[in-house]
Each structure stands twice: as C-alpha cells, then as structure tokens.
Amino acid sequence: MRRLPETESSATRGGRPAALERALGHRFERAALLEQALTHRSFGSPHNERLEFLGDGVLGCVIAEALIVRFPDLSEGQLSRLRASLVREAALAARARELGLQDHLRLGEGEAASGGATRPSILADAMEALFGAVFLDGGYAAARAVVLRVYGEALSGLDARALGKDPKTQLQEFLQARRRALPQYRVVATRGAAHRQIFEVECVVVGACAGAPEQRASGTGSSRRLAEQQAAEAMLRLLGE
C-alpha cells in the first residue's frame, strides 16, 4: 500500500477519484480495479459484483482478527454477533457515506434517477467491492490496512456489552432502562419497482415527560426491516448513544 502525499489535490487524478484514494489510504496501481469497484451493474460491464464477493470474504477475515485481538475473553458466539453487527448492510453503508462513496458511483441513468447513489444496498455492495479491489491491487496486507482504517472509529467505539445486538433491540433496551415508552415505527414512503422497492421508515420516541416534544429519526432500506433498523440506529445517535 502506498500512502498519498497530503499535498496532492483532492480532484480527480487522471480519471481516478483522488479524494477517495486518500480517504482509503491506498493509491491503486491498477486503476481499472477502482473503476470496476465503483461500477454498478446498471451502468454496464465489468461491474462490481465479483469484487463484492471477494471483498465480503476479506472484510470478514479482517474484522474477525480485530475482534479476536480486542476481546480475548469472548466466546465464538459472542464474537460472531459482534462481527455481524459490523459487516451488515447498514454498517457498510454508513462507512461508505463517511467516505463520500455516493459521489463516485457509476450508475445507469434509471438507477441514478431513482436515488441509487444513496441506496444502502448499493453503497454496501460498493464498499465491499472496494475492499476486494484493494486486495487484488495490493494484497491482503493492503486490504487489511484499508479495512482497519475505514472501520477505525467503529471498532474503537465498539461496546462488547451490546454483543452485536441490532439497533432496534439496543434502542428498546435504552428506553426501557429509562422507563420511557417504546419507539413506534411507520412506513412514510416506498419507492421503486415492486421487485426492488426502497422503504423509508420513521422512528418516533415520545418525550421523557408530559409535554416534552417527540423525537423523530428516519431510515431507508431494501426491506421494511432494514429501514426500521436504520431508523433505530439514527435514533440512538440522536439520543447520544
């Protein structure tokens, strides 16, 4: 892996998104791999699905190693649940947004017009594809360094007491511990064709005392369940958890 000088421009370099390379901490020797990782199948071939498959395996291995080192006393089941919480679609999409990945995706006209650049499933797939592309470009050590860089804050803030509980469970337990009413979820919008709908869900938490305002957060996903999990995650951030 080659670190990029801080003085280089964040503009596109020779057709390559320099800001993204700098955020990853890796400059691609084979620029075609980076281009492919950012290409959705709606844009054309070669697209990123094979790289996504590879990146999924690389990500799982790196995260498993990081958890083994950080939590030497946890059982296999506990480690599995923590890993699942880090590599699920919502977590990957969150990492992608932090990198500004949505600004670099190559989408077909229809996919772009329907908001594909912000769709969690597309962002998550592209994030995994990037890990796979780095692996092919620079080997496992380079891919490991990129994964740990991208997941740095998420790993450092990981609470083993949560044991990989999903956001809806965490939010419910957070509110119950404070004797507050449970959250309410409702679908506020659906978009897209029937076979690939995107759901937008709102999570509402009533005030801590009578007369206090409600708190609202929203999430989107390729299913109602995923959208609810994203909304719960957003609510936890809003509540400072």
Which residues belong to the active site? 56, 128
DSSP per residue, 38-104: TB-TTT-SS-SHHHHHHHHHHHHHHHHHHHHHH-TT--HHHHHHHHHHHHSHHHHHHHHHHHTGGGT
- Considering the chain, what percentage of its residues have pLDDT values greater than 70? 89
pLDDT confidence bin for 207, thresholds 50/70/90: confident
Q: What pTM does this model have?
A: 0.69
CATH code matching the domain that covers 167-238, chosen among 3.40.50.360, 3.30.720.200, 3.20.20.70, 3.30.160.20: 3.30.160.20
pLDDT in tens, 65-87: 999 999 998 888 888 888 988 99
- The values of phi and psi at residue 185, to 5°, are -120, 140
- Please say whether the beta carbons of 33 and 51 come within 8 A: yes
Tell me the one-letter amino acid at 182.
Answer: L
Give the domain ranges of the chain: 12-162, 167-238
Q: What CATH number matches the domain at 12-162, 1.10.1520.10, 3.30.70.260, 1.20.58.1610, 3.10.450.50?
A: 1.10.1520.10
Give the separation between CA 177 and CA 89, rounded to whole angstroms: 28
Q: Six-digit token pair at 175?
A: 């509110």
Residue-wise pLDDT for 112-132, tens only, equals 998 889 888 899 999 999 999
Per-residue pLDDT for 160 more than 80? no
